Amino acid sequence: MSTAGPPATLDPYAIREDFPILSTVLHGDKPLVFLDNAASTQHPRQVIGALTEMYEKHYANVHRGIHWLSEQSTDLYEQTREKVRAFINAAMTEEIIFTPGTTASINTIARSWGDAHLTPGDEILLSVMEHHSNLVPWQQLAERQGAVLRHLPITDDGHLVLDQLDELLTERTKLVSLTSISNVLGTVNPIREITRRAHDAGALVLIDAAQHAPHLPLDVAELGCDFLAFSGHKMLGPSGVGVLYGRAEILDALPPFLGGGSMINSVQLDRFTPADLPAKFEAGTPPIAPAIALGAAIDYLNNLGLEAVHQHEVQLTRYAHDLLEGIAGVQILGPRAEEKAGIVTFVLEGIHAHDVAHLLDRQGVAVRAGHHCTQPLHDRLGVTATSRASFYLYNTLAEIDQLGDAILHAQHVFRRR
């Protein structure tokens, strides 16, 4: 029996003290209400401080020099790899590859694994709710290799149709690549069950955890997935760094994707031998300082506890649903509040999403409008554009009230026209 008690509750007001940008006042007198966290999150002083300290005291290229600064830089960079390993409970640091972000991580697998393993007629199973980053690399791969793409459909309320999984998993399915949490609907997908069923069918599994890693605990050992991708900038870290996790025995057998410095053991004029993991997949100078600052972001999240972060977001999401459902003309897309992460995507009757975002911005409220890099999902839902409010650990219930007020104001402005 677990002796752990309930997760500590977060105090978003205390947390906000760590985030200088959150005290911004815009358009004269409007306090910034930042609800665009699914696109990118803000940075606490601890992360900004780690970046500054790196550049002021420790910076040099890694794995190259034998001088003092390079050793410091290399040590910090490799210590961060260990932090990431522990954060997702990978078996070894060799399984952690630093990349520029989720998109680069997925493309690495599409190029390295896909080009080496797919033959014409092989199938890749995706879903209708995927981000373009988990669609286009596979479309490009399918074009190169003659592979076939299949897509798990969704229900009208934004759940994957699992009943069709067995039918879609055929003996030709080589890979299932799925988002763990939808960046539009907020749906938390049953990735553990899907991974198990995909493995039973003989397919490998890649999880797009871009919206998961910042918000919920991740455990690749428990999940059993073969590859996993996420981005630093969605979890308090800087832009320019992300992670590709891959099971060591699979990554070990793959050819490198990008060629250049660092990823080799030796080079002759007409050939090379690749380096061991993880260097094999880190060609060129990596995102040194951003990676180290991502380590500071992980420390920050670990300090709060991701379970507590999640509970806080559940509370915000419930509150936002209750509030928005009480406003006539607001339609929320996706599952009920209880079934999703901190993302509330909505349509305002008679007002285009871009106008909504613009009018909300005039009230200081930052949301995202458009198709959020999920055009096929929007096609499926029968809408061209939506507005998305997405929450994080520093958001407050009062800010959701401000979102509600800003929506009422937008409706008022449109009624007057």
Q: Which residues bind ligand PMP (CB under 6 A)?
A: 38, 101-103, 131, 133-134, 179, 183, 208, 210-211, 231, 242, 373
- 176 by DSSP, 3-state: which? strand
H or E stretch at 306 = helix 306-325
Tabulate helix, strand, coil % of the chain (nearest 5): 45, 20, 35
Q: Decide whether 114 or 404 has the Cβ nearer to ligand PMP.
A: 114
- State how far the Cα of 107 lies from the Cα of 19, in Å rounded to an integer: 33
Question: Which is nearer to ligand PMP, 85 or 131 (by Cβ)?
Answer: 131
What residues are annotated to the active site?
Answer: 373
Q: Quick one: tokens of 330? A: 């607001």
Burial class of residue 19 in the structure, from the number of CB atoms within 10 Å of its CB (0-12 exposed, 13-18 middle, 19+ buried):
buried
> Smallest gap, in angstroms, from Cβ of residue 212 to ligand PMP?
8
In the complex with ligand PMP, the residue whose CB is nearer, 112 or 133, is 133
User: CB-wise, 58 or 388, nearer to ligand PMP?
Assistant: 388
- Residues linked to residue 228 through DSSP beta bridges, in sequence order: 207, 245
228/332 with CB nearer ligand PMP: 228
End-to-end CA distance of the chain, in Å? 62
Q: From residue 321, how far is each of 19, 363, 369, 391 by CA, in Å? A: 26, 20, 18, 13
Name the minimum Å distance from CB 106 to ligand PMP.
7
Q: How far is the CB of 210 from ligand PMP (least distance, A)?
A: 4
User: Least Å distance between CB 181 and ligand PMP?
Assistant: 7
Dist. CA 271–CA 239, nearest whole Å? 34
d(CA 377, CA 155): 11
Tell me the closest approach of the beta carbon of residue 315 to ligand PMP, in angstroms.
Answer: 22
